[in-house]
């Protein structure tokens, strides 16, 4: 006597079997996609950490020069040997009077690290500063040629003409503390600025 399994005859058994296998396959796809997405996020976090470290390092130099009570100048160069993710990638440094931004494009996605300096920053050379002051005030702001204006007016003027400047990461960046001298015709005072520029 031949006994046939009821499993092969029961169509509901086949439907349950295929539905459970389909559910397992879909669950596997979701898990694999989640792991892949997690790996991409970890890589992006790693990129962001390197850019944060770079922006913090540049900001350290700017703030260190800014805290000096005397005029001083240091040279800063980005060492890509300490940035393994960016050795062969384009990294952009943007500086304005309000922030320092490090930007990199990784596989079509922009990764940004931004920091605000503690001191007044003017992202131009000493000659540009001198020419701008001379054209607006008739004096270059040196100790021998102080500006006839008040403190707030000078800061407002320099902030209004300062644009975001892009720096070439292959060349050194000069960070210089300078003073702008101003007078009310009785007393001479000074404002400290950090100039950040390239030659």
Q: What is the DSSP string of 125-160?
A: -HHHHHHHHHHHHSS--BTTB-EES-HHHHHHHHHH
For 127-157, write each residue's pLDDT tens digit: 999 999 999 999 999 999 999 998 899 999 9
The shares of helix, strand and coil residues in the chain, as percent rounded to the nearest 5, are 45, 25, 30
Residue 142 CA to residue 71 CA, distance in Å, equals 12
Banded model confidence at residue 14, pLDDT cuts 50, 70, 90: low
Q: For residues 80-90, give the mean pLDDT.
A: 72
Q: How many residues does the chain have?
A: 199
Where are the strands (E) in the chain, listed by range?
Answer: 72-76, 91-95, 100-106, 109-115, 121-122, 147-148, 165-167, 173-183, 188-197
For 163-183, write each residue's pLDDT tens digit: 999 999 889 999 999 999 999
Residue 7, pLDDT score? 52
Highest mean pLDDT among 79-93, 107-121, 169-183: 169-183
Q: For residues 65-71, give the mean pLDDT.
A: 94
Residue 6, pLDDT score? 55
Banded model confidence at residue 196, pLDDT cuts 50, 70, 90: very high
| 23 vs 119, residue with greater confidence | 119
Query: How many Cβ atoms are within 10 Å of 95's Cβ, its own excluded?
Result: 27
Enter the pTM of the model.
0.76
């Amino acid at each position: 006597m031949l006994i046939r399994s009821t499993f092969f005859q029961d169509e509901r058994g086949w439907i349950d079997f295929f539905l459970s296998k389909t559910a397992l396959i879909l669950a596997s796809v979701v898990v694999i996609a989640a792991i892949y997405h997690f790996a991409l996020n970890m890589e992006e976090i790693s990129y962001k950490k390197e850019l944060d470290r770079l922006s913090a390092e540049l900001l350290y130099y700017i703030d260190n020069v800014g805290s000096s009570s005397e005029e001083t100048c240091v040279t800063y160069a980005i060492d890509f040997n300490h940035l393994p993710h960016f050795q062969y990638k384009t990294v952009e440094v943007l500086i304005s009077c309000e922030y320092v931004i490090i930007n990199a494009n990784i596989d079509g996605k922009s990764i940004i690290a931004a920091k605000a300096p503690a001191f007044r920053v003017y992202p131009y050379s000493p000659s540009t500063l001198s020419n701008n002051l001379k054209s607006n005030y008739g004096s270059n702001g040196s100790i021998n040629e102080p500006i006839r204006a008040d403190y707030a007016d000078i800061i407002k003027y320099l902030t209004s003409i300062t644009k975001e400047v892009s720096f070439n990461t292959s060349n050194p960046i000069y960070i210089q503390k300078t003073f702008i001298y101003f007078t009310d015709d009785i007393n001479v005072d000074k404002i400290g600025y950090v100039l950040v520029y390239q030659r």
